[in-house]
Amino acid sequence: MWRKILSILFDFYDYFLLILLIFISFLILFMNEAPEVRSFQGDVADVFAFIHYPGIWLEELSGLLKENEALTQENLQLKLQNIEFKEAYLENRRLKKMLGFLDSTAYVIVPAKVINRGTAPIANSILLNVGRNEGVVPNLAVISTKGIIGKTIAVGDKTTQCQIFQDVNFRLSVKFQNSRVYGIVMWQPDGSAIVREIPNTAEIHPGELVLTSGYSKIYPPNIIIGEVIEVHRAENEPFQSVIIRSNADINTIEEAFVILSY
């Protein structure tokens, strides 16, 4: 192996010597402090400055990547904070409405928060964060600031299951505000509500409010249920049917009230 190395050194002796002399020349040149030499050093540095550009570019690129990552994280934090601020603002508006409702009603009521919603084994329901500890018992009306929600059906110490009006087994005695006609409202599997067997002579029109009748031990009278959206009347039939739309949206409701007494 050493023989090969020595052979290469002897074969390329002139080239190695030239490289060594050039290196020594540059070393001596850059160690010289004469003004003329310093000027020449500057010219040489200008010529070979391009060698440093890739390193500078990579360093700047690395810095930009880090800065972009930091800005991305900061942007995410700002978005999350903005969502939290908006949620707090909307909750504040809802609570103000609830406080206004509490001040304006004569009912004995308990405010509650919806902590779960879905289909229970016995009914389409929502779960409230109040229970026996707050005086809640089964078969109490549950309402929101927009109207009827349902009734309590299963009560624990801290939670209550509420059967909502969208359940197909839910029934409610109602009256039409203008025509003063009474009926029983029933919700259909498609989410619509219908009142049947209304005398054909009754004048009911779309937009008329539908209220609780008061003919119930659970629901107080004159609580809004919704409004009429369709009237189905046949000339040769003694009765007509009415389709109504609830004022309360179960899918978006977050707070409710349980009426303890009225």
Tell me the pLDDT tens digit for each residue of 84-133: 656 555 555 655 565 555 555 678 888 898 998 875 545 688 999 999 99
Say if residues 196 and 188 touch (Cβ distance below 8 Å). Answer: no
Q: Give 76-98 pLDDT, tens digit per residue.
A: 666 656 666 565 555 556 555 65
pTM here is: 0.60
How far, in Å, CA of 123 to CA of 239, rounded?
A: 30
Start-end of H helices in the chain? 2-11, 13-31, 35-47, 53-104
* Domain 171-249, CATH homologous superfamily name and number: Rod shape-determining protein MreC, domain 2 (2.40.10.350)
Say if residues 228 and 244 touch (Cβ distance below 8 Å). Answer: yes
Sorted by where each begins, the domain ranges of the chain are 35-104, 108-164, 171-249
Asked if the domains 108-164 and 171-249 are classified in one and the same CATH topology, the answer is yes
* Domain 108-164, CATH homologous superfamily name and number: Rod shape-determining protein MreC, domain 1 (2.40.10.340)
Tokens (6 digits) for 140: 């109490």
